[in-house]
Structure 1
């Protein structure tokens, strides 16, 4: 580990990224930057790098250590420092939204940022859109009312009111009472999932709220679904997409509680099928059950039919009002580009 973080390797990382215009634009670090800013990030890099490498190893990441260190310098560190700055500016807890699909690195990002914030003496908590799912019984009742909701996930399968109450409590300036954070167990009820034991936490500085459609707004014109991309093909598909779009309005109040939104954006949204397949194969390799390839195909396309990435997420990466940061992810899951819309 010490051999990897040599002065020479470290200088190479910084020199290459200082020359990268997209990183400069995203985080304001260039050859003309205040020397103290560069030195502060450099010192923190050396302090947290060993723990970050260990955390990534514990999480089962197969990335090369050099790749992890580059992501630490390019994304995880500057993002953490920005969150600290935003906390000081707002003088209240900050809510960072993270929008990203299967395999884009939401969990890793949240874990590493939490570690860095702890090093900086700031507290944080991460919760997912998944943690807001309605109970198994409630979703069974919902499915009887609307048989198209064969899986959890789309708009309508979450308890938005619980999310609103949670964010309102977490954002309070001088809250002293503990906060109850809901949790969800995906393995419960034969894989259908159910509410788990909630977590009781003390007030925190930074809240990370992640999920596959966190921050996604309804499309204003339903006519767009008439010529939607695959797999929205049949009249039934089009109606389902329209209905899911209507249910998105229930979530807008949640998104209004976000202070910042970043998007983890694959260079091709169809990569989520490949990444989901790889995740299922890893589960099978450990002896746990997993979906067959045809089931994965149906599962992923179900989400595309509900909220198609080209219709709902692509517009957000060009929207400077709603989106603060975009991280483009390559096929090998490394960073292609970081920029602000």
Structure 2
């Protein structure tokens, strides 16, 4: 069981994330059981374990990962490294090149094909093989600039971890079942800006290739399950509002010159359309494949984790 005194040390982290006192209950009932699950797996494997954390935009993946990492380290003495798929987005220049050579929609970060999966694999490989005194650089991405942070700003993980957490909205996503699934547009973005389905096909081809090999490494998959696509849009809009507040500026329209790239509500809605196809697919089929499912309520509260006991049995 978790050390209650060590759990009390999480208050500075709660303050940092501007979380209400009620989040203590979420920590105790949801995140601590997750940490117990992960540390048991790590002890059994006797090697660094790779844990995937999936959740649609706005479900709280980053916050969950932050607290899970802290509890694993401070309560269960598991050295834990983490990074997000967001951290390995292609640079803006690389996405602009894809937009010119493949399809204009690829300038927008997010979908499979806009990440540097080779970079993510390099990070994992270095962490898995690291010695006690080795330092592994972990990439970061500056969303306010819509570009990868300079290498000098990347944090470094020292030594070999017991656990590596990888979180992202499309972690463990599957490609389309067949060509017919790709053919029908799911929203106005696909209908009007991807009339021939070139963008959809490219994204799906990427998901079939390097992404599947990357996801196949996972030792365990945790899913934060959003209640609906409408909630995803609402939550992602709220995230952008908070980003604007932190940056001390109003929306700039996303593509305006200058240091801020904060989207308006209409632009967030268009942005989410890039994610909609795969998000809907994951909401429909991923709960049956995840090792742990946590339902996210409309008020953003997290339910109790449901752990897979056997094939097709969640309890």
Q: What's the TM-score, normalizing by structure 1?
A: 0.77
Q: 1:268 aligns with which of 217, 228, 248?
A: 228
- The alignment partner of 1:182 has SS state of coil
- Which of the residues 102, 110, 113 maps onto 2:65? 110
- Asked if the contact 2:88–2:119 (Cα under 8 Å) also holds between the matched residues in 1, the reply is yes
1:1-341 pair list within 5 angstroms: 40-41=1-2, 44=3, 46-61=4-19, 63=20, 65-66=21-22, 68-119=23-74, 120-145=76-101, 146-172=103-129, 177-187=134-144, 191-197=145-151, 198-202=154-158, 203-227=160-184, 229-231=186-188, 232-233=190-191, 236=195, 238-249=197-208, 250-286=210-246, 287-290=248-251, 291-304=263-276, 307-319=277-289, 323-336=290-303, 338-339=305-306, 340=308, 341=314
What is the rounded CA distance, in whole Å, between the counterparts of 1:178 and 1:58 in structure 2?
26
> How big is each residue's C-alpha offset from its partner over 1:172-212, in whole Å with a ceiling of 9 and x where there is no partner?
3867633222222223xxx3212432332222111110111
Contact 2:56–2:232 (Cα < 8 Å) also in 1: yes
CA–CA distance in 2 between the matches of 1:87 and 1:129?
22
Q: What is the match of residue 311 of structure 2?
A: none
Give the 3-state SS of the residue equivalent to 2:110 in structure 1: coil
Instruction: Give the Å deviation of 1:313.
Output: 3.9
Q: Are residues 59 and 159 of structure 1, via their aligned partners in 2, closer, same or farther at CA, if it must alter by over 3 Å?
A: same
Deviation of the 1:219 alpha carbon: 2.1
Counterparts of 1:248 and 1:295 in 2: how far apart (Å)? 25
Q: How far off is 1:154 after superposition? A: 1.3
Q: Following the alignment from structure 1 to structure 2, what is the Cα–Cα distance between the partners of residues 173 and 180?
A: 11
Alpha-carbon spacing, 1:282–1:159, altered in 2? closer, same or farther (3 Å): closer
Cα 1:201–1:337 shift into 2, 3 Å: closer
Indicate the SS of the match to 1:264: strand
Task: Specify every segment of 5 or more residues in structure 1 that has no aligned partner in the other structure, as ranges.
Answer: 1-39
Aligned residues: 288
> Given the superposition, is the C-alpha separation of residues 294 and 237 from structure 1 closer, same or farther in structure 2, using an over 3 Å criterion?
farther
Task: Describe the shift of the 1:251–1:283 C-alpha distance in structure 2 as closer, same or farther (beyond 3 A).
Answer: closer
Contact 1:87/1:94 (CA < 8 Å) preserved in 2?
yes
Q: 1:160–1:274: structure 2 CA closer, same or farther, 3 Å change rule?
A: same
Partners of 1:58 and 1:273 lie apart in 2 by: 25
Change in CA separation of 1:284 and 1:135 when aligned onto 2, cut-off 3 Å: closer
Q: Contact 1:328 / 1:335 at 8 angstroms: preserved in 2?
A: yes
Question: What secondary structure is seen at the aligned counterpart in 2 of 1:98?
Answer: strand
The separation in 2 between residues aligned to 1:225 and 1:175, in whole angstroms, is: 47
Residues 78 and 337 of structure 1: is their aligned pair in 2 closer, same or farther, counting only changes over 3 Å? closer
Distance across 2 between alignment mates of 1:164 and 1:247? 15
Matches of 1:143 and 1:159, distance apart in 2: 16
Structure number with greater Rg is 1
Give the secondary structure class of the aligned counterpart of 1:95: strand
RMSD of aligned Cα (Å): 2.3
Contact 1:329/1:337 (<8 A) preserved:
no
> How far apart, CA to CA, are the structure 2 residues paired with 1:199 and 1:88?
26
Q: Quick check: 2:126–2:136 contact (8 Å CA) kept in 1? A: yes
Structure 1 residues 150 and 169: alpha-carbon distance in aligned structure 2, compared to 1, 3 A threshold: closer
TM (norm. structure 2) is 0.83
Q: 1:83 Cα shift?
A: 1.4
